[in-house]
Chain A
């Protein structure tokens, strides 16, 4: 683990800065409440996000990408580290203090079926946050909501309908409209398209891109699908078993992936062309359990280039030029 650095001055340009964020979940407790075994879901993750940018977080199941998103929103209280939002350190904010911040940070979930309350109408779902946070005067709420629905491609007569009457794509539009109803600055999109069909995926991604331009939003886009992330992100972070293994601009990551895991992820995606022959790196074995991660480099059990040092020493996460960061012993040697 990298030593906790002394907190430097906050970057005034960044809307969100995450420093050495760690989140552990207790697995086993003794009778006295002492934690004997814990699951390190997010381990020492740091990044900065500028307004209007999109950060894509890529990783497989159990890599901690969802926990990272929720920890930033403080839906999970981080174990250690700092979250700095708009120059404020919100890590230790109480829930009453967070209520104001919530207006500025929103989240869109993966499953459009369980993320909408089943017993409210679309109008009810969308106007509730507007009235609670007093975004517009009471008399204008309905017009405001209808305008928002129009922006998200929802017809006005959906106002009276219930979520179960809609298909996945339309529900995801409702979720987006709900998140945007409070005029947030940062939206965390937690796999917003992975439950949708291909043709609908493209609609939602385009909608998100359009809304980003119109409303000057900052996105943190979490996905397991590299090809989706590519279309929406400016910066990309690749996570494996709780830690960030590679981080850089989209161009850097796609043209020059440094970490062997990123390379394997790229090659694992099936290409829709029968004649396309790819030199596929097939990783052996399964993803280790995050409750019991391997020693040394977490990837060494599956890495095709693993060496002795990888089994013992955790590689340092450092800059390899142009802000392209990675954590791998192979890179250190070159």
Chain B
């Protein structure tokens, strides 16, 4: 179907436009500026991270991919926020935006604010807008205040260094005056914390000598070593076997009580969210379509997508013969229509759905949903 391909003229136009925007955003990223330029205030002092209307775009040859397209949610202190959605919904890109780890120069934060409450070296609490921070200042928070656990424990450890060397490094970066003995003691303590039975042996081991579950434990201990205020766990158990996943989830639940920080848990598995999270954010095609507490999302899901997602997940307890399924596919993120992105797959469409994208409707103090179906309720109530 040649007609479905872009013509040479269109390709050149896209490339020209992309180049212009990317150049501007890259220059902005590497600008020199004073700290005051990216200091800001939290909307709610109880929150540790506030993402406000974040737009993260990828400027590809085929057009602009709006991977994160106006996402807003908060992470309160000492809470676990679960971000759930299917592949390509922008959940990982959101976390990468917070860490400023986007693949440059294609991936760029286009607009929006990421407010993060960080402690300075001398202990004063400051609120930074991560989205505006220049790259040279990002070390203030990255790895220090925000730590990340990746999906693939097989590849996220450097194979040529021992576990001990990699763990000690974190301590040295955090506290440059630490002695070797201090660092080792701290590393062993961290390994103990994540339930590794023989920390001394693991300390001297190379990553390839450990199993997947053990490596993920090490990754978690690395994330904890710098005492972060926020841990981003991006699909921490997806690459693991079920019985190992149960161990890791048990560990994370246990750690929640031990550490003084929040967890942003990104996963596609509703079961994990139900077990782990306090608040849930459901994303679809780069937008938040529903957010609320875990009770609200699981016992009173409102958006047809959330409902469908919960129904289509096979469980051991249900007895029905066939699975409910959401028809169609996740839309390709280039050239998104203006109307609700879920319209084509939705079984409860109303006339309004062809109109513009629905706004966020507040159903309860904590429960928000983006669907035209509930607009009437709001007006009446």
Contacts and interface: CB of A to CB of B under 8 A. Distances in A.
A contacts B: CB pair < 8 Å: yes
Interface of A: 60-61, 157, 160-161, 167-170, 197-203, 205-206, 209, 224-228, 230-231, 254, 264-276, 280, 282-284, 286-287, 302
Interface residues of B, number: 47
B295 interface: yes
B213 interface: yes
A271 B243 contact: no
A283 B246 contact: yes
B316 A197 contact: no
Contact of B330 (A167, A266, A284): A167
Nearest to B242: A268
B312 A199 contact: yes
B295 A286 contact: no
Given A198-B270, A283-B243, 9 more contacts: A199-B86, A201-B314, A202-B325, A224-B242, A227-B314, A267-B246, A271-B271, A271-B316, A272-B270
B185 to A, nearest CB: 26
Interface in B299-354: 299, 308-310, 312-317, 321-327, 329-330, 332
A225 to B, nearest CB: 8
Contacts of B313: 198, 202, 227, 272
Given A199-B312, A209-B322, A230-B314, A60 B271 contact: no
Contacts of A274: 274-275, 294-295, 298
Given A268-B243, A274-B275, A199 B314 contact: no
B1 interface: yes
A317 B368 CA distance: 54
Interface string B236-247: 000001111111
B247 A202 contact: no
A273 B243 contact: no
A202 B314 contact: yes
B87 A168 contact: yes
Contacts of B214: 286
Contact of B86 (A198, A265, A268): A198
Contacts of B179: none
Contact of A227 (B241, B275, B295, B315): B315
Interface in B175-220: 211-214
Given A161-B1, A265-B243, A283-B246, A202 B326 contact: yes
B241 A224 contact: yes
Contacts of B26: none
A207 to B, nearest CB: 9
A269 B329 contact: no
5 nearest interchain CB pairs? A270-B271, A202-B325, A197-B86, A202-B312, A60-B241
19 contacts: A157-B1, A167-B329, A197-B330, A198-B86, A199-B325, A202-B312, A203-B325, A205-B314, A224-B241, A226-B316, A231-B314, A231-B321, A270-B274, A272-B270, A274-B294, A275-B299, A280-B250, A283-B246, A287-B244
A268 B309 contact: no
A199 B268 CA distance: 10
B324 A270 contact: no
A86 B273 CA distance: 46
A32 B342 CA distance: 64
Contacts of A230: 314, 316
B253 to A, nearest CB: 11
B269 interface: yes
A169 B329 contact: yes
Contacts of A254: 316
B249 interface: yes
B247 A282 contact: yes
Given A197-B87, A274-B274, A282-B250, A205 B316 contact: no
Contacts of A61: 241
B272 interface: yes
Residue among A199, A226, A284 facing the most chain B CB atoms (10 A cut-off): A199
Given A198-B309, A268-B246, A286-B214, A227 B326 contact: no
A101 to B, nearest CB: 32
Contacts of A209: 322
Nearest to B251: A282
A45 to B, nearest CB: 20
Interface in B212-271: 212-214, 241-247, 249-250, 268-271
A170 to B, nearest CB: 6
Contact of A170 (B213, B271, B272, B329): B329
Given A265-B242, A270-B269, A202 B324 contact: yes
A60 B86 CA distance: 23
A60 B212 CA distance: 12
Contacts of A268: 242-243, 245-246
Nearest to A276: B274
Contacts of B269: 198, 270
Residue among B243, B247, B269 facing the most chain A CB atoms (10 A cut-off): B243
Contacts of A197: 86-87, 268, 330
Given A199-B312, A206-B322, A228-B314, A269 B87 contact: no
B243 A264 contact: yes
Contacts of B211: 286-287
